[in-house]
Amino acid sequence: MQKQNIIYNTFFTTLILLFFFFEFTFAQEKPNIIFIMADDLGYGEVGAYGQLLIQTPNIDRLSSRGIQFSDYYSGAAVCAPARSVLMTGLHTGHTRIRGNFGKGGVIGLAGKKGRVPLREEDLTIAEVLQNVGYRTGMIGKWGLGEPNTTGEPNKKGFDYFYGFYNQRRAHSYYPEYLWENTHKVMLFGNEKEQNHQYTHSLFADKAINFIDRNHQTPFFLYLPVCIPHSRYELPDNGIYTHKKGWTKFQKKYAAMITRLDETVGRIVSRLEALGIDDNTYIFFTSDNGPAEIFGEWEKFNSNGVFRGMKRDPYEGGIRVPFVVYHPKKIAAGTTSDQVGYFADFFPTVMELIGEPIENKFDGNSIAGVIHGNRKSIERQPLYWEFYEKKGWRATRFGRWKAIQNNMHLGDQGPIEVYDLYRDPGEAFDLSQSHPHLVDQAKKIFDTASLPSEHYFWNYQQIGENEVYDN
């Protein structure tokens, strides 16, 4: 009997050890995913993309040690729909949230109606990662659901949330409170517009803390910071304080971007100190093109050669920097002209972690391109639709870009066509000389969008003050 008990005990001990072994192996094999997203950062506002005046050494180092994409796009020209595309893998003709506000949306924390939340049936990448064993954290600006709605971050796959529910409240860097999960956290010292607790510094600290708490398990950290979105405020101008010939505003703007860069450096250093950098993918991008900075943005050549800015259908409004870093799996100094955008992130991560998923996405996995074992992919056309500025829609297919403006008047308006290989600045409309491309664009436009109960072309033309204050 004693011998039998010994056998049973040995058996169960072995099972327990095997269980912990496989748990440990899972934790070691599944890569960590960190997605850092700036807010209103232009294509040309980091050194790796041609910036000469603003210092971004840490982002540049990520680029030089990873892969840098030249033809990468946000999912939208403003923040809320861009985030919806990123989280769901569906473009703005399919995703739930297609604008900063829509018909039937709730009244947000900033007092404006029309904040459309994600619903229970809207699957996010965080939900999938959570279900396969990842610890998930979202720190920064959410914009996909107000408190007590179906779109709260904690209801959409995030174990931990710290930041702003509402993108309009995120315009202040010294708010009276932030949210931690579903609890309001008062920021003492920020009452009555006193400026003691700077949100970006809090976000950076919370990001480091999340990594520290979860570094022994696979984790997904989504870090959509608010910098360099307005209001343009920060504790000090740092290295730009005594720049001669710079306006006060230019110093602030540059200092905000460099402060973001310092946060990127802190995160990389922490990963290295914990010994998990070689099992972590870091993605860096911006949610859309730069805002028009009171006529002063030209100093920084924020868009490079591209036309337009935030809210525009042209390249300056939607083309963004995009860098991916992994010290072991991505060759240093790689560049790619693979066309990609936010809808690719969901299927890409699924391939990176080796998890099959049956969902249909509007994006493609670019994991093979990132790893250098696939130079390019044959992809479906990229598509955008936008309901402000009288409404517009756009598509990129191959080297061609098609744009249709003034959608509030109907869908019969002229379609512009540009050859982005020869004319990246979109100066020469080829619609008259290439009618077959116009026809091709029409076919894409006719099938790309499903009707929405919240967004349609005539609804959002309600006055610039309400539209542009989002």
For the chain, what is the mean pLDDT? 91
Neighbour-count burial of 106, counting CB atoms closer than 10 A to its CB (0-12 exposed, 13-18 middle, 19+ buried): middle
The arithmetic mean of pLDDT across residues 163-174, rounded, is 93
pLDDT at 278 over 60: yes
Which DSSP string corresponds to 69-109? ESSEE-SSSSHHHHHHHHHHS--TTTSS--SSS-TTPBP-T
pLDDT at 181 over 50: yes
Tell me the C-alpha distance between 161 and 142, whole Å: 9
pLDDT at 185: 97
pLDDT at 193: 80
Tell me the C-alpha distance between 92 and 78, whole Å: 11
Cis peptide before 231 (omega within 30 of 0): yes
pLDDT per position as a tens digit, 6-27: 444 544 444 444 344 444 444 4
pLDDT at 313: 97
The arithmetic mean of pLDDT across residues 157-174, rounded, is 94
Of residues 107 and 459, more confidence is placed in 107
Q: Rank 65-69, 110-114, 375-379, 409-413 by mean pLDDT and report only the highest.
A: 65-69
Q: What is the end-to-end Cα distance of the chain in Å, rounded?
A: 75
pLDDT at 24: 43
Least confident of 145-154, 185-194, 292-301, 347-356: 292-301
Which DSSP string corresponds to 349-364? HHHHTT-------SS-
364: nearest Cα among 91, 79, 94, 96: 91
| pTM given for the model | 0.92
CATH 3.30.1120.10 in the chain, residues? 383-467
pLDDT per position as a tens digit, 215-252: 999 999 999 999 999 999 999 999 999 999 999 999 99
Pairing between strand 67-69 and 72-73?
unpaired
Least confident of 27-36, 93-102, 138-147: 27-36
pLDDT at 467 over 60: no
| Interior angle at CA 134, CA 372 and CA 19, nearest 5 | 105
Question: CB count, 10 Å around CB of 293?
Answer: 20
Q: Which amino acid is at 185?
A: V
CATH 3.40.720.10 in the chain, residues? 30-380
Least confident of 13-17, 135-139, 312-316, 459-463: 13-17
pLDDT per position as a tens digit, 70-107: 999 999 999 999 999 999 999 999 999 999 999 999 99
pLDDT at 275 over 60: yes
**Residue 152: helix, strand or coil by DSSP?**
coil
Tell me the C-alpha distance between 311 and 40, whole Å: 10
What CATH superfamily classification does 30-380 receive? Alkaline Phosphatase, subunit A (3.40.720.10)
Cis peptide before 228 (omega within 30 of 0): yes
Residues 6+ apart with CB under 8 A from 156: 87, 118, 122, 124, 126, 127, 144, 145
Residues 6+ apart with CB under 8 A from 454: 96, 97, 98, 99, 102, 103, 104, 105, 116
- The matching CATH number, chosen from 3.30.465.10, 3.50.50.60, 3.30.200.100, 3.30.1120.10, for 383-467 is 3.30.1120.10
346: nearest Cα among 77, 25, 83: 83
Contact at 8 Å (CB) between 178 and 187?
yes
Beta strands in 190-265 (DSSP E): 219-224
Tell me the C-alpha distance between 385 and 99, whole Å: 9
Phi, psi of 301 (to 5 degrees): 50, 50
> If residue 266 lies in a helix (H) or strand (E), which one and from where to where?
helix 248-274
51-to-130, 211, 321 alpha-carbon distances in Å: 38, 30, 12
pLDDT at 459: 58
pLDDT at 28 over 60: no
- Confidence band, pLDDT 50/70/90 cuts, at residue 294: low
Task: Please name every residue paired with 394 in a beta bridge, in sequence order, or none if there are none.
Answer: 384, 403
